[in-house]
Structure 1
Amino acid sequence: MQKNLFLYLFVFSALIALYLAVSGNKSLEKANASNTRLSEQVETYKDSLKEARLEVLDMQYFNLENNDEALAYLEHLDLENPQRYIEDKLLETNEQRGNNVLVPYEGMNGDFKINKIKVLNHRWILCDFSDGKYWGELLVAYEIGEDLTVKFTTMDHLLYAR
């Protein structure tokens, strides 16, 4: 009887060990499959991040902050942040009553004011203007004098048709 009991315990233990080995193998396969899927996603995200970085670099190409030649031209002015200074001076043209003097159109839904500014280099600026309903864009030339006065000249403009 004791001999049969040990035999039954041995067979029962062998079955439990076999069950644990099979279920452990299946969970290992699931974990490996999940790990493979996550690795593929990581590679996809790395590629997307690389593309986004290239796009950002491309967008920054025409920008005063990234143009060493243009910054060298403005270096003698001893401005801490030339781009911010130019943007501030351009936004000051919005403070007068009526349309902005750089915008060659009469506002139809209010006064045209400059909203967005992109300083391209040491000579040119792109601007977006709007009266709340109608909008357009300007290409503005600028010069900074030795006394830090800024002279703006509208080179070209367009008003989008509604």
Structure 2
Amino acid sequence: MTPDQALAREAIRYTLELYNRNADTADYERHAEVFHPEAHFSVRGLGDAHGLEEILAMLKPGAESRAAYDDANFQRHNLTSTMIELTGPETADATTYVCVTSELGFDHFGRYDDQFVKTGDRWLIMKRHAAMEWSRPDSRFARWLGEAAPVREFPW
């Protein structure tokens, strides 16, 4: 692995971490720092969005329905394993497993399958497929996303 490849992988990890911090704090306006302006975001059980405006329009009502703005609620997205494959000098694929905890304890587990593109000095998500693979029966996320189901194949 070259130093440039190592730096690219760390920049991709930063984007993944920023996405989750934005979700945990319900600061979706900061997703402009995460998604490419022409990004495609697919959430199993919810649908597809194209472009930053549609992505925000899909995510913000979900935050409200799961009470993300309620001070009594707590959530933290914890990234576990991430496999990053650089597919070109300015493109990469990544699969990341995520565990979400809430004030109830373990809330749900899932997976992000992403395609990244280097944009300026940042690596941004060009395509994301998010899937919830397990949830507790009383999960606030399950109310929004529907029933959890295992991912059987890479979405593209």
TM-score scaled to structure 1, two decimals? 0.40
In terms of Rg, which structure is larger? 1
Q: Which has the higher contact order (CA 8 A, sep 6+)?
A: 2
The structure whose residues are more often strand, as a share, is: 2
TM-score, scaled relative to structure 2: 0.42
